[in-house]
Structure 1
Amino acid sequence: MSASADVESQSVVRPRGRCLDAFLTTSVVLLFVMFLVALGGALLFAKHLESEINTRMPRETDGSVSPRIAPSPLKESENSYKVQNFAHLRATNSELKPGVMKWETIEYGEGESIGSLYQYEEKQSVLNVMASGSYFLYAKLTFYCVHVCPPAHFNVIFYDQLETKQLTCSVSLPDYSNSNASHPVTRTCWQVVTLLKKESRLLAKTEFTEELTEKQKNWRLELNDSGFGMFLVDG
């Protein structure tokens, strides 16, 4: 009797197990597709914004901040990607030195590159995130060599208000000390982060393992092609 009961119970459990596996697989696929759609929309807006900057703002060879020229308003279809859940800020200091990194929002038409879900405190270089949730956080850093540049290594780290590291972007710059190479070097980093508290704060710092030499300081950050941003994935 017990053996017969075991066979019957197994015949009932297995179909349920298959249904559960199918449900979990479908759920994971749907979540992945939703994430790709959100990521594609945000990156498309960021790409358009970068194109606007490169086209309408001349790059300074000495690393100084270019005069701000307001581009024409985006088309309505393009502007649909500029939703409240998206933020993008541009670097404002080209020098490589340890400490807090400086950023600014980008004006275009009558809008800015930061949605209503965020607030940026320029004096403290802090981005306030007004809602809890999961966010796609990214940073793009582009460097150029002024003259002769030995290799350099450092980290750009994004901290929250609890001093927790949310994103670490490790940068290794090549050896341009024996040539006049002028090829820019770009490093892109990203991470899906979870901010559990409303009004979370993000602050970026540059940290070096050792003090830079004078020649290593010839490496500069290309301002018009460097920045960071984020958008809400789930919240």
Structure 2
Amino acid sequence: MDVESLKKSGSSRVRCLDAFLVVSIVLLFAAVGVLTVGLFFGTKAETASSPQPYASDVGDKMQNVAYLKPHLRNLENGTMRWTAVSRGAGNSVGSLFDFNPDHHSIRTTRDGQYFIYIELKLNCSTTPVCDAGRFTVSIGDSRDSRDSRLTCNFELPEWKETTPVYRKCWQVTRMDKEMRLVTQMTAQQQLNKWTIDVAASEQGIYLVG
């Protein structure tokens, strides 16, 4: 038996086995790298092509909402005048409502429970004294003067400086479709020295169920 020949043959097999293991490890890392890159770009492509649910949800919710800003600063008896706020290509009145700028009314188009609110900030003008008095805002159906869905009372003190009076009132109420809401202002006496802060005041309604 040739011992030297056996030694050379064994060494050759070990070297072949080592080379095979090295090549296998290299191929394994290469496959993992390719797979990782593929998954990364696949995820990026899916994310880019998928619609964004957040934007859709916001759009759906905005359909249920309408809010208006006062059109005039004066406190006077009669129907309160409102205006819609521009928002992108549309305005602040969602598609579930119909705002009539001529009659300053909001019409509901669906039966349901609605959250309605009004917030007003009243300022004393720069005249020496603003008279004390009571000011009431009532929101109700224009077809029935006795219908009042929300009433907000303001107790106005006598001020000798520009100190604002702020109040927010809200109510959850069931309303039928085709109801037209208008806001009525009532002052017990002349309050022409008090004015509405248009930027800090608004009226809103949204469908809750």
Return the TM-score normalized by structure 1: 0.61
Q: How far apart in 1 are the matches of 2:164 and 2:100?
A: 30
> Residue 182 of structure 1 corresponds to which residue in structure 2?
162
> Residue 88 of structure 1 corresponds to which residue in structure 2?
67
Between the two proteins, what is the percent identity of the paired residues? 32
Equivalent of residue 153 in structure 1, options 115, 130, 134: 134
TM-superposed deviation, 1:80: 4.6
Q: How far apart in 1 are the matches of 2:104 and 2:80?
A: 7
Counterparts of 1:158-173 in structure 2 under 5 Å?
158-160=139-141, 161-163=143-145, 164-173=147-156
Native 8 Å contact 2:133 2:189 kept in 1: no
Q: How far apart in 2 are the matches of 1:217 and 1:121?
A: 27
TM-superposed deviation, 1:108: 2.3
TM-superposed deviation, 1:193: 1.1
Which stretches in structure 2 are left out of the alignment for 5+ residues? 1-53
2:94 aligned with 1:119, yes or no?
A: no
TM-superposed deviation, 1:82: 5.3
> Residue 5 of structure 1 corresponds to which residue in structure 2?
none
Secondary structure of the structure 2 residue equivalent to 1:94 = coil
Equivalent of residue 179 in structure 2, options 188, 196, 200: 200
> Residue 191 of structure 1 corresponds to which residue in structure 2?
171
* Structure 1 moving runs of 4+ over 3 Å: 75-82
Q: How far apart in 2 are the matches of 1:103 and 1:221?
A: 12
Equivalent of residue 201 in structure 2, options 202, 220, 226: 226
Q: How far apart in 1 are the matches of 2:79 and 2:106?
A: 12
> Residue 110 of structure 2 corresponds to which residue in structure 1?
131
> Residue 19 of structure 1 corresponds to which residue in structure 2?
none
TM-superposed deviation, 1:173: 1.4
Native 8 Å contact 1:132 1:200 kept in 2: no
Query: CA RMSD, aligned part only?
Result: 1.9
Letter in 2 for 1:162: D
Native 8 Å contact 1:82 1:113 kept in 2: no
Native 8 Å contact 1:139 1:227 kept in 2: yes
> Residue 192 of structure 2 corresponds to which residue in structure 1?
217
Letter in 1 for 2:137: V
Aligned residue pairs, count: 152
Q: How far apart in 2 are the matches of 1:211 and 1:109?
A: 41
